[in-house]
Structure 1
Amino acid sequence: MTVREMRPEDEPAVAALFAACEDYFVAATGNPALPGDVQSLYYALPEGADFDQKRLLVMCRGADVVGLVDVVDRHPDVESCAVGAFLVAPEARREGIGSGVARRLIAEAAGRGMRRVTATVPRGWEPGLGFLRSLGFEIGAPESEAEGTVGNRTRHPEETGLCTARLWLVDR
């Protein structure tokens, strides 16, 4: 398993990953992913963040892309990072790939002085809720406003019921 920066030539594989992860997109937005959603990853930033803070990582098993991590570093403050999407292909789930990669990235964030990691997860989407809880995240109640900044991007009106999860990397 390798984790590396996403490259433009990865777009078809990431589009296929999005299609395979329909359960996540339906839970988050009520609709499956669209072809343009991959390209929108490059531009999806919360207010106040710069493009140099954005990291798009792919998880690869051999030459196959089996996962994606979308992170904005040093957001919403300099001691935090925000995860917008953390996808693992259905055929690779429950193999420890996601938790192994997440633990590696969390350790890397802590080593760079981060104190907190935030993520978003659709209310009631048990695969994501269970995954985050297994990593030690605290799951908050769904955000009340229909539109605003959540996690590492601006939430759209169709994204209702997203919960914010927080992981403290140091004692508060």
Structure 2
Amino acid sequence: MIDVPGERVVVREPGPADEVPLLTLFGECEDWFVAVTGLPSGPGDVQSLFYALPEGASPDDKVLLVLERDGVVAGLVDAVRDHPEPGAVAVGLFLLAPWARGRGLGRALAESLLARAGQVPLVTAAVPAGWRSGERFLERLGFALDAAVPAPAETGSRWTGPREGGVRRAELRRTGTG
């Protein structure tokens, strides 16, 4: 359990029984998928979540956390330890159902990830260029955002979609850690 005033919230690792709830979450977060790829979530997105890694990363460094609110999957974070450099954490996917946004649940999920990752000096993330709610969320967490960069033709683990836009890279440098 984590503390979110007025909410019964649990952050945990996903299990086999989470496939259908995660499919539901991905469907609910169509706005995010369209902002990132130009398309809604596809049939294999949940399964690939468990296997997709940046080049050079180890499967042992993968961190997946599910956020439940009152027993319903409301969020998900996918991160990789020791990427893009030793001691860092790279957040690859951070989803929160639209009905769960603006309640402090995203901050609780981010804080849970950081607590599980330990005292890392660098956390990286990306947000779709122009996804203002995501940009504000990262800024409130203390991330510094770069200017938008265009989407590459290949991201390392997959080819980008034909309507995929650019992203803004974000970094959170944590002093007194490491």
Is TM > 0.5 for Structure 1 vs Structure 2? yes
1:127 is displaced (CA, Å) by 1.4
Report the equivalent of 1:156: 159
Report the equivalent of 2:113: 105
- Aligned letter for 1:142? A
Q: Deviations over 1:105-130 (max 9, x none)?
A: 23443xx2310000111000111111
- The verdict on how the C-alpha distance between 1:100 and 1:47 changes in structure 2, with shifts beyond 3 A counting, is same
- Aligned letter for 2:101? R
Q: Is the 8 A contact 1:118 1:165 kept in 2?
A: yes
- The verdict on how the C-alpha distance between 1:35 and 1:155 changes in structure 2, with shifts beyond 3 A counting, is closer
Gaps of 5+ in 2: 1-8
- Aligned letter for 2:139? R
1:70 is displaced (CA, Å) by 0.3
Report the equivalent of 2:123: 117
Report the equivalent of 1:132: 138
1:13 is displaced (CA, Å) by 0.4
TM-score by length of 2: 0.86
- The verdict on how the C-alpha distance between 1:169 and 1:13 changes in structure 2, with shifts beyond 3 A counting, is same
Q: Is the 8 A contact 2:65 2:113 kept in 1?
A: no
Determine whether 1:169 maps to 2:169. Answer: no
Q: Work out the percentage of aligned pairs sharing the same amino acid.
A: 48
State the superposition RMSD in angstroms: 1.9
Q: Deviations over 1:62-92 (max 9, x none)?
A: 3210000001111112210000111111111
- Aligned letter for 1:160? G
- The verdict on how the C-alpha distance between 1:148 and 1:168 changes in structure 2, with shifts beyond 3 A counting, is farther
Q: Within 5 Å, which residues of 2 pair with 1:57-136?
A: 57-109=65-117, 112-136=118-142
Determine whether 1:25 maps to 2:33. Answer: yes
Q: Is the 8 A contact 1:147 1:154 kept in 2?
A: no
Distance 1:157 1:142 in 2: 16
Secondary structure of 1:43's counterpart equals coil
Distance 1:61 1:22 in 2: 20
